[in-house]
């Protein structure tokens, strides 16, 4: 969609909002609210809303006769400019453009007059036409840069004026750059500041998300060490500690069943313990032979078997000694809830 100046209507929106030339992301980003940039807008004008000026057809074949006639109209325009008759000069240059629409200088000259008339959108259209014909038109860049400055498009104006200065520097370009560059630099510094703040905010979000996911990851890792509905054999105190830590991370009740191969009551209660593991899949059922896991048995001061320790969050909360299967299940139901 074309704007009033014949280019991207983003320029128009930026002027109308009287904000610096920043993207939509620069306005409000979550908790980051950008402050206004203090710019010197004393030379900014209201955009011209006149209907687009007549533009020639560059595909038209230009005869020598038309070229000569265009030159005559151009001369009349220059004379009118010297007399301060700018509107009359526009008319003569329009005649010249219609006769020779392939001349970049004609468009550039008319653009410079529109600048004097404070009609920046018209100037931008003509400058764009001149640059399309001749990408190295210093007058085209100069006129467009000055027009964009009138619209408060400081960064675009600075770019155009710098190109014009490189192609064909004159004093007027230097004066304009002294007005335009301070505003353009303020906008660039403003953009960099909030780009840095947004990057920092993104990094903070990433770090918070990483920390948020870390416990879940640890929980998943801990859960992988446990076997729902099955008996987990323990062979050492360190292995027991690992399983109990995993149970704590997942907030599960753990039962340590100390047994021995030579224990008759143990042979009686072991099948019951196995069936209870299937009945209470979210309870961690651990089983340690005191002759195999001597250090674990010593740590819990096991003096007789069978013996059941009920553990939650790393602490002993209950204990059953003996092969009383009814008491065992009662305690499991009590603490599992």
How many angstroms separate the Cα of 185 from the Cα of each of 34, 74, 171, 189, 264?
17, 38, 21, 6, 89
**Catalytic residue, candidates 266, 269, 277, 286:** 266
| Tokens at 303, concatenated | 């003096």
> How many whole angstroms separate alpha carbon 311 and alpha carbon 229?
17
**Minimal CA–CA distance to 226: which of 285, 292, 312?**
285
Burial class (CB in 10 A: 0-12, 13-18, 19+), 283: buried
Contact criterion met (CB below 8 Å) for 234 and 257:
no
Contact criterion met (CB below 8 Å) for 284 and 300:
no
Q: What share of the chain is helix, strand, coil (3-state, %, to 5)?
A: 60, 10, 30
Residue 266: active-site member: yes
**Catalytic residue, candidates 115, 131, 226, 263:** 263
**Minimal CA–CA distance to 127: which of 182, 55, 188, 184?**
55
Q: Report the number of secondary-structure helices (H) and strands (E) in the chain.
A: 12, 7
Residue 307: active-site member: no
User: Which residues belong to the active site?
Assistant: 263, 266
């Amino acid at each position: 969609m074309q704007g009033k100046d014949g280019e991207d209507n983003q320029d128009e929106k930026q002027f109308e909002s009287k904000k610096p030339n920043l993207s939509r992301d620069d306005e409000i980003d979550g908790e980051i609210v950008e402050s206004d940039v203090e710019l010197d807008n004393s030379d900014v004008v209201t955009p011209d809303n006149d209907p687009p000026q007549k533009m020639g057809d560059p595909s038209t074949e230009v005869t020598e006769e038309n070229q000569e006639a265009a030159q005559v109209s151009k001369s009349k325009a220059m004379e009118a400019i010297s007399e301060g008759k700018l509107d009359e000069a526009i008319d003569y240059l329009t005649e010249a453009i219609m006769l020779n629409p392939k001349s970049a200088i004609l468009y550039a000259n008319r653009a410079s007059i529109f600048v004097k008339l404070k009609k920046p959108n018209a100037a931008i259209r003509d400058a764009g036409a001149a640059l399309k014909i001749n990408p190295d038109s210093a007058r085209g860049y100069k006129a467009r840069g000055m027009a964009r400055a009138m619209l408060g498009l400081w960064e675009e104006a600075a770019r155009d004026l710098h190109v014009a200065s490189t192609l064909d520097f004159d004093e007027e370009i230097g004066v304009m750059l002294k007005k335009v560059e301070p505003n353009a630099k303020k906008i660039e510094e403003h953009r960099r500041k909030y780009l840095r703040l947004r990057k920092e905010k993104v990094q903070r979000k990433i770090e918070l998300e990483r920390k948020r996911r870390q416990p879940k990851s640890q929980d998943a890792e801990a859960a992988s060490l446990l076997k729902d509905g099955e008996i987990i054999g323990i062979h050492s105190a360190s292995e027991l500690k690992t399983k109990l830590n995993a149970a704590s991370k997942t907030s599960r009740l753990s039962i340590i069943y100390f047994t021995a191969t030579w224990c008759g009551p143990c042979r009686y209660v072991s099948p019951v313990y196995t069936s209870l593991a299937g009945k209470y899949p979210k309870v961690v059922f651990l089983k340690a032979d005191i002759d195999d896991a001597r250090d674990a048995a010593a740590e819990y001061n096991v003096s007789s078997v069978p013996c059941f320790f009920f553990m939650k969050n790393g602490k002993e909360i209950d204990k059953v000694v003996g092969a009383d299967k009814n008491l065992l299940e009662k305690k499991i139901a009590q603490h599992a809830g």
